[in-house]
Amino acid sequence: MTTISHGVGESPRPESSAVPGLLVGTAAATTPGVRVRDLTVVYRTPLGELPALGGVSLTIEPGTITGIVGESGSGKSTLALSLLNAVQPPGRIAGGSVEIDGLGDVVDLAGDRLRRARGRHLGYVFQAAQNSLNPLKTIGKQLLDLGRSHDVDDLPALVRDAKSLLERMGLDGARVLDSHQHELSGGMRQRVGIMLALVLNARLVILDEPTTALDMITQATILRIVREIHQERGLTTLMVTHDMGVAAEVTDRLAVMYGGRVVEHGPTMEVLGSPRHPYTRGLIQAIPRLSGDITQSRALPGRPPTLGTVPKRGCVFQERCPLRMEVCETVEPPSVIENGRTVACHAAEAARPAERRKEHA
């Protein structure tokens, strides 16, 4: 689980001069796309610095909801944090870039520029969002602090927007704003987190397991609202989830992660309907809800690697792969892009008709 400060509870800051390259006072005019290139993130461990992301490249198209799925430890949260340049020690971004339209390479952002980008340009809810509220202040007070720290001129409008978002998520907006976090249930706090991610009108919204703390009915309501608000406001949304059912319901595109790599990426229905990577197939087969019959679900054999056990050579999935070939032990499979789908698998590549392989050689 990963926690970062939500920006809530930060002391209000005095007016500061405009920050070059950032839109202050208004939301970004266009829906941003994101281009992650060769991103490497390492964590310091007793065995030295080990990569949690080993050269991830991923393009997030403007206006889409992209889901990031994969088992625990595959690097989903680390990737989400990297989009905010918010990887905390003992982790660090060791290489690569994260280009966000309107912001540039966020890996190069620091200090005030970075703080302002978060919230105003990049909205986010992290797994522990419900624990990152300030216990000493009401939600309303924290909302005002957030608005002031981002130089929002019209604070009454911010409060109105917050109330309306909370009401859409089935809460009594005025009551919630008057409450302290201990007066709210886990599910209510999670919805407060989502409201705070959206209220500054950020156009790129990153949701890390936004519905984990919620019961099924509340989860369905929240997902519907995330989808509606995404469309109404013209957002680009990245959603990290363990739950392939959630991914199937909400996302337009799906990126599947394993051992700190994106092993498959493409339109959600295509990835789920005709998965090309054996890991994606394994994930899908392990889900009773998608395969329809609970007796047909088969758990993926073996366990995902930890930082210390990711293979140093060859394919990261080789140890659990039913299609493993000799080459998989020595050569990391390149990401092959075809018709809007990306797959990094020697076996999938070998199965493609020879003439199409030649075209992409």
Ligand X SMILES: Nc1ncnc2c1ncn2[C@@H]1O[C@H](COP(=O)(O)OP(=O)(O)OP(=O)(O)O)[C@@H](O)[C@H]1O
Residues contributing to the site for ligand X (CB under 6 A)? 1-2, 43, 45, 52, 70, 72-78, 90-91, 242, 306-307
CA 351, chain centre distance (Å): 31
Which CB sits closer to ligand X, 67 or 91? 91
Element (H, E) at 114: helix 111-120
Residue type at 179?
S
- Report the alpha-carbon distance of residue 190 to residue 330 in Å, rounded: 44
- Give every CB contact of residue 284 below 8 A, 6+ residues apart in sequence: 244, 272, 275, 290, 291
User: Residue written as tokens 């280009």?
Assistant: 99
- Report the alpha-carbon distance of residue 197 to residue 117 in Å, rounded: 12
Instruction: Report the nearest approach of ligand X to the CB of residue 52 (Å).
Output: 3
Which CB sits closer to ligand X, 146 or 310? 310
Instruction: Report the nearest approach of ligand X to the CB of residue 351 (Å).
Output: 28
CA 164, chain centre distance (Å): 25
Residue 82 DSSP symbol: H
Which CB sits closer to ligand X, 106 or 240? 240
Structure token pair of residue 122: 């990049």
Instruction: Report the nearest approach of ligand X to the CB of residue 2 (Å).
Output: 6
Residue 127 DSSP symbol: T
- Give every CB contact of residue 205 below 8 A, 6+ residues apart in sequence: 122, 123, 124, 197, 198, 230, 235, 236, 237, 238
Which CB sits closer to ligand X, 41 or 184? 41
Instruction: Report the nearest approach of ligand X to the CB of residue 94 (Å).
Output: 13
Which CB sits closer to ligand X, 74 or 181? 74
Which CB sits closer to ligand X, 75 or 102? 75
Which CB sits closer to ligand X, 161 or 208? 208
Instruction: Report the nearest approach of ligand X to the CB of residue 164 (Å).
Output: 31
Instruction: Report the nearest approach of ligand X to the CB of residue 118 (Å).
Output: 18
Provide the greatest CA pair distance for the chain: 65
Instruction: Give me Rg for the CA atoms of the chain.
Output: 21
Instruction: Report the nearest approach of ligand X to the CB of residue 269 (Å).
Output: 23
